[in-house]
Amino acid sequence: MTDRMDGVRVLIYSHDTFGLGHLRRCRTIAHALVEKYKGLSVLILSGSPIIGSFDFRARVDFVRIPGVIKLYNGEYTSLGMHLDLSQTMAIRASIIRHTAEQFAPDLFIVDKEPLGLRGELRETLSMLQEQDTTLVLGLRDILDEPTLLRREWKSRNLLPALDNIYDEIWVYGHEAFWDPLAEMDVPLTIRRKMTYTGYLRRTVPQPSKLLPAVDIDTPYLLVTAGGGGDGDQLMDWVLRAYETSTDLMRSVMVLGPFMPTERQAEVRERASNLDKVDVLTFDSHLEILMENAAGVVAMGGYNTFCEILSLDKPALIMPRVAPRQEQLVRAKRASELGVARMFDPLDETTIESFVDALRALPAQSKPSTTMPTGFLDGIEKVGKLAGRHFHPTSDNRLSIVETRG
């Protein structure tokens, strides 16, 4: 059902310091909202350097703020500009505040970071709070391993922000899977604000007029490293498997746009000697490749996990373990529930065991056989939760959102 919400505005903040996860989650939510509510406009604030590579629906647009990247040691540095980090952060905070002031959103959804990257949202949140804008913190299913998360949030004093600033907290996961604030001393006042939406169901976009970059009619396994900045280990294991065995199903490897150029060259060189391996750098419509795959080999990021669940694909997950252990926790829990199989190179150290896992993947049980009720209800639930705060208006505020198409 579609409702008219003329004049209603939603602002979404995505700090985007590593990979594609935050941007893709925010884009999914934005598209779901404009599809459900005609006349509503969504503006995404993003630090992703490749946000322009994605297509956006009518009434969804974005403001690109200067990029900052998180290094493997946990520190941050400016991306693409020869500026001191403090200068970059000041510019980001100014753009965010000015955009929010001019856009005047009815609803502000903040992805994952309660105060923004290094506190860059403090002034904006305070301003919007005074204007009675509804403030929502959106959390993915797992933020990090509980002990590490508790230590980080305590050092940054983040719990008071959840208590004093935000009206609601939406958890884009299922309570039977994980509690993102597990083992933290969370006051009841915060718990009452938390709603589990279920995972955000993904759909396959309309077929493009462009020909597929690879053959999608011959059976294949899809190997995806998400953004790719930390996909070296996964790609190496897959290549070694195909270098070892000749009887595996063909694979399509998607490296990710953030994989370093020299690493991409190494992967392509090794793959050029293998008849059953195709390599792509990036595909903004990964859902199409996944829909046609016989199985998925992935790192276990949130968005890839949602796609695996939504398209009901047998999956083998080799999680990242640094700088956060979020993927490791997700992979272990998914394995426990039977919605995916986890492969940990530290535990299963032989390439033979990995080859066996790849061979068995197409016949592995699909996620739908063990998913709890409501596991994929996130899109519908988010739409309903958001709609409670919308009040259509016929005023003539100047929109800075470009209507496309």
The band of 73, judged by pLDDT with boundaries at 50, 70 and 90, is low
Q: What is the pLDDT of residues 276-323, one digit of tens each?
A: 999 999 887 788 899 999 999 999 999 999 999 999 999 999 998 878
| Residue 84 confidence (pLDDT) | 85
pLDDT average, residue stretch 226-248: 93
| Residue 396 confidence (pLDDT) | 38
Q: What is the pLDDT of residues 103-132, one digit of tens each?
A: 999 999 999 999 999 999 999 999 999 999
pLDDT at position 362 over 80: yes
Model pTM greater than 0.85?
yes
pLDDT average, residue stretch 241-245: 97
pLDDT at position 210 over 70: no
Q: Are 316 and 361 in contact (CB under 8 A)?
A: yes
Task: Report the percent of the chain where pLDDT is more than 70.
Answer: 91
Q: Are 140 and 110 in contact (CB under 8 A)?
A: no
Question: What mean pLDDT is reported for the chain?
Answer: 90
pLDDT at position 394 over 90: no
| Residue 116 confidence (pLDDT) | 95
pLDDT at position 400 over 50: no
Q: What is the pLDDT of residues 9-63, one digit of tens each?
A: 999 999 876 567 788 899 999 999 999 999 999 999 998 888 888 889 999 999 9
Length of the chain: 405
Of 253 and 395, the one with more pLDDT: 253
| Residue 2 confidence (pLDDT) | 64
In the numeric block, the tokens 């190496």 are attached to 236
Q: What is the pLDDT of residues 86-103, one digit of tens each?
A: 898 999 999 999 999 999
Question: Can you list the domains of the chain with their CATH numbers?
Answer: 3-201+377-387 (3.40.50.2000), 221-369 (3.40.50.2000)
| Residue 399 confidence (pLDDT) | 41
Distance, in Å, from the CA atom of 181 to the CA atom of 140, rounded to the nearest integer, reads 11
